[in-house]
């Protein structure tokens, strides 16, 4: 399984880039999964439906599936922030994804493409010395906040960014950290 992060400030275009990369990687025969960090509470269930009622009754996990889709919802009994490696372990067990795009988790020790836009005025991670940023995706004719020896990719060209990932795909092979195993 190959893993690459997409990091950047809120509203910078991470999700749009992820959508484009999913389409391009899928078109090249790759199966793509996504791990997304949410800063706020969320719910993917529908109140009143059986699975929601099971959760409301106190189920620790609810798995719902049909011949098109599977979803698992887990309720933490105490507040817990899973690490990106916890979440990747959930996908490793399935063993079916060729690529995993990680959206968010900007401080994770994973190879990452930083999505940076001058209009947001946010500091760049690569400029702060994040050694895991392997490229910067930005608008055409960018004026980056600091010099970089990293590849600068056109944020509006997901096909070219997918080609960048595929040209050296072994670089993204996922190995869980030793202290995680």
Q: How many domains does the chain have?
A: 1
Domain assignment of residue 52, yes or no: no
Domain assignment of residue 120, yes or no: yes
| Residues 6+ positions from 23 with CB-CB distance below 8 Å | 158
- CATH number, position 139: 3.40.50.300
Sign of the dihedral defined by the CA atoms of residues 160, 155, 152, 18, in that order: negative
**Residue 24: both structure tokens together:** 């391009």
Helix (H) / strand (E) containing 32: strand 32-36
Domain assignment of residue 179, yes or no: no
* DSSP alpha helix (H) spans, 14-154: 14-27, 50-56, 84-94
- Whether the pLDDT of residue 173 is over 90: the answer is yes
- Global pTM value: 0.88
pLDDT in tens, 32-72: 999 998 777 767 777 888 888 888 888 888 888 889 888 88
Domain assignment of residue 65, yes or no: no
HSE (side-chain half, CA atoms, 13 Å) at 10: 4
Domain assignment of residue 158, yes or no: yes
What's the whole-number mean pLDDT along residues 155-165? Answer: 97
Domain assignment of residue 9, yes or no: yes
Domain membership of residue 132 as a residue range: 2-39+83-172
- In angstroms, the CA 119 to CA 139 distance is 10
Domain assignment of residue 55, yes or no: no
Domain assignment of residue 66, yes or no: no
pLDDT in tens, 81-98: 888 998 898 887 677 899
């Amino acid at each position: 399984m190959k893993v690459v992060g997409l990091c950047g400030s809120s509203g910078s275009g991470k999700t749009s880039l992820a959508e484009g990369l999913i389409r391009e990687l899928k078109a090249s025969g790759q199966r793509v999964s996504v791990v997304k960090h949410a800063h706020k509470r969320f719910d993917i269930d529908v109140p009143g439906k059986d699975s929601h009622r099971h959760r409301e009754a106190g189920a620790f996990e609810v798995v719902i599936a049909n011949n098109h889709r599977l979803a698992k919802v887990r309720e933490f009994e105490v507040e817990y922030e899973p690490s990106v490696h916890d979440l990747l372990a959930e996908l490793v067990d399935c063993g079916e994804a060729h690529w995993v795009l990680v959206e968010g988790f900007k401080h994770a020790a994973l190879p990452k493409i930083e999505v940076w836009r001058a209009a947001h005025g946010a500091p760049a991670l690569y400029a702060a010395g994040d050694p895991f940023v392997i490229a910067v995706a930005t608008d055409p004719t960018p004026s980056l906040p600091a010099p970089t020896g990293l590849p600068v990719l056109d944020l509006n060209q997901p096909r070219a960014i997918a080609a960048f990932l595929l040209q050296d795909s072994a670089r993204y092979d996922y190995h869980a950290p030793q202290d995680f195993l």
